[in-house]
Structure 1
Amino acid sequence: MTILRECGCYADFTFPSLNSSQPVMINQIYYAIDDPNKAKSYNRGIPAKVGQKSPEDSLMIIQGILGLRYDKKKKYKIAIDYSDLDYNDPPTPLRVDYWVKNSIGIIGRPNWRLIKLHTHGGREIRFDSNFGESADIAFQHLEQHYNDGKKYVLHYVTAREMYNIVKAAEGFLSWDGNNTRDFLIKPYLYRM
């Protein structure tokens, strides 16, 4: 983690991961402090919360959702959801509902909820789960049921913007669109 931080990394978005690499802290946004003499220093940390400054020499860990959910296609009707958009477990309206119900928050800002999803590369076999009909149906469900402008206001954000949103919440800022998304780390300059 020290190397990541020293090379300009502002947060780690790796988790959830299965098996031994998964930290014991799940479904949280937290700060981990590296201990070069200890394996898996990211295993535990200090949860992000409103009014808290990030601990010195720490790295923010932003996790996706990890948990059990109902899946009628599985033998025992239970699936492990680890926020992956994959052909083995494509996004569906039921998964979207699960993600919203189990979305990750920032302590002290319960109305700001985050859903971090991931995929593994752009292989053709994953096209449907990321860009095809399955993705279209799932994201239409998300937009139709969780973007009413009152109870829910949906925002699609990049990793940089998600980090900024967490930092803005910690700093007591109220939501202010792009100012919140660009709170600390400004958009990257692209040149052609």
Structure 2
Amino acid sequence: MNALGPTYTEKIYHSLPWLTRYPFWRLGRFLQGLRSAQQHTHLIVTVANHYEPGWAPGGGCEDRKTQLSRVREWHREARITGRLIKDADGTPFRHTAFYPGEQYDPALLEVLAEMQAEGLGEVEIHLHHGTEQPDTPQNLKASLIGFRDLLADKHRCLSRSHPADIPRYAFVHGNFALANSRGGFGCGVDNEMEILAETGCYIDMTLPAFPHEAQVPKINAVYQCGRPLHEAVPHRCGPSLRVHGTVAYPVIMTGPLVFEWTRKRWGLPFPRVDDGVLTANYHCDLARLDRWRGAQVSVQGRPEWIFIKLYCHGFFQGDLEATLGDPMRRFWGTALEEGSRTGAFTVHFASAREAFNIALAAVHDKKGSPHSYRDYSLRPIMQPWPAEQKIQSSIGNPGTIRQAVSLS
């Protein structure tokens, strides 16, 4: 992540495309809320952790010993939190670790693979590239395939739609520069989205990108690119996923991008943007949860399934406790109790893969509890494949799973 953030003036300028649309989005959500008032909702909560154990204050990279110590400490905390905080389905609270491919270390990945085997979070792909000079399509594709296959073959991470499928992955772009959306910095490849689709990416979870210029006008949505994938920033617009609709990959699932109005300066409301970040300087409480719910990120036609994609940089200074320790345990404990007490919502902790599967199930008009669709289409490589589906694949008929996803 770039250490130098934008100035206040730059933040305003970069935010104009989505700020000018925000009132219309808010009005639409208000009207939708009137139609679905008092409806019980399912909250599908995913934490996209930009998992960089090498991060060091002021730039640079910590040594390997420090990184390994950090990851092991994370594992210990994840076990404690997973044991204490479970959702309505008995699923432990966990993060999805988007590990940076350019920082690959087999020893660190082995710890993450062990965590995944324990049900404490899955591993997906994060990538920083084009920071010193613009990357090339050829190098980007080779980098993605190389890291994808390392994760799948050596560590048994990622997922497949059927046993003979290529490895499939979720993606978060380093420096938020998805599809060259920061004017050349941190990417340089206009057709990046096309390359992601070709190499097996089924969902991108980079957004929101506030306060950078990478933030597109489309907010608070599960959608697909509205422009040709070979163009730069093809996700700047696009149709939301809807029940009985079609799906083009990669799907874009944004986190919440809403305003908090509780702060005051000189006695007047002073808004703060809540983009779903988990960090020590923005504590979680039920008011934040209400804002995330109010963003109503969902598949159109299935408003009772609300996706809450949060994000963090788990190794930023002081953020381990805020993202996985006691404050996070207290928050989710309170949230789970509130949902049970009021009957207003049910919380489901989901990995990035599970959130995608649930969204796809919604498109296919599946109903009931989202929990039933965690493995709807993509299954972890680490997880044994059902015998009947292995047989179907071996005779050239991958069955309904492959047909439903249409990823191969």
**2:347 alignment partner in structure 1:** 154
> 1:106 & 1:147 partners in 2: Cα distance?
24
1:89-117 Cα offsets, whole Å, 9 max, x none, are 12223212221222311110111111110
**2:289 alignment partner in structure 1:** 96
**1:175 alignment partner in structure 2:** 368
1:122-176 Cα offsets, whole Å, 9 max, x none, are 3351012112232123212221112459532211000000000000000011235
Return the structure number with greater relative CO, CA threshold 8 A, min gap 6.
Answer: 2
**1:67 alignment partner in structure 2:** 258
Secondary structure of the 1:167 match is helix
- Choose which of 286, 294, 298 in structure 2 pairs with 1:105: 298
**2:388 alignment partner in structure 1:** none
TM norm structure 2: 0.43
1:38 is aligned to 2:231:
yes
1:17 is aligned to 2:215:
no
Gaps of 5+ in 1: none
> 1:9 & 1:105 partners in 2: Cα distance?
20
Amino acid at match of 1:143: L
> 1:121 & 1:46 partners in 2: Cα distance?
32
> 2:322 & 2:303 partners in 1: Cα distance?
30
Q: Which piece of structure 1 moves more, 170-179 or 103-112?
A: 170-179
Secondary structure of the 2:379 match is coil
On the 8 A contact 1:96/1:138 being kept in 2, the answer is no
> Number of residues paired by the alignment?
189
Q: Greater helix percent: which structure?
A: 2
On the 8 A contact 1:104/1:113 being kept in 2, the answer is yes
On the 8 A contact 2:227/2:237 being kept in 1, the answer is no
Gaps of 5+ in 2: 1-192, 385-408
On the 8 A contact 1:93/1:137 being kept in 2, the answer is no
| CA root-mean-square deviation | 2.4
With over 3 angstroms needed to count, the CA separation of the structure-2 counterparts of 1:162 and 1:148, relative to structure 1, is farther
Q: CA deviation at 1:190?
A: 6.3
1:26-62 Cα offsets, whole Å, 9 max, x none, are 000001156366321110111100001214xx42000
- Choose which of 328, 337, 361 in structure 2 pairs with 1:135: 328
**1:87 alignment partner in structure 2:** 280
| Rg larger in structure | 2
